[in-house]
Structure 1
């Protein structure tokens, strides 16, 4: 699920509505895994309350290192 509240990177906002739809499809066996893209730590926490999140794909490379703390938290 790619969140696009801001085209320049993650921005705060609720992801409950679209994620609840995906979680319902997962319960019906139509979706195997749910991952998030372009999200904030708060949105990841919200997502984990709704469904199992198996991956997070935010922009991260040598030039964009703003998510160092988030990556450490996800690794734990």
Structure 2
């Protein structure tokens, strides 16, 4: 990080705060894509499974990045 700024598009070099924010921005995209799969009705059981998988994955990722962000903040404060 130069001058306290996170750099660019490389997800692995971002701080946990930026990863949390990026995950928040990706939730509407995932919901939209999941709804599109359900509307297309290619295989309804498979699309429902993917929808649930997306939601669970994003919830877990949000919780994980939030916890890591807060623990990272506490370490920097001390």
Give the TM-score of the pair, scaled to structure 2: 0.31
Q: Which has the higher helix share?
A: 2
Give the TM-score of the pair, scaled to structure 1: 0.31
Look at both structures and tell me which one has the larger radius of gyration over its CA atoms.
Answer: 2
Q: Which has the higher strand share?
A: 1
- Which structure would you say has the larger RCO, counting Cα contacts within 8 Å and 6 or more residues apart? 2
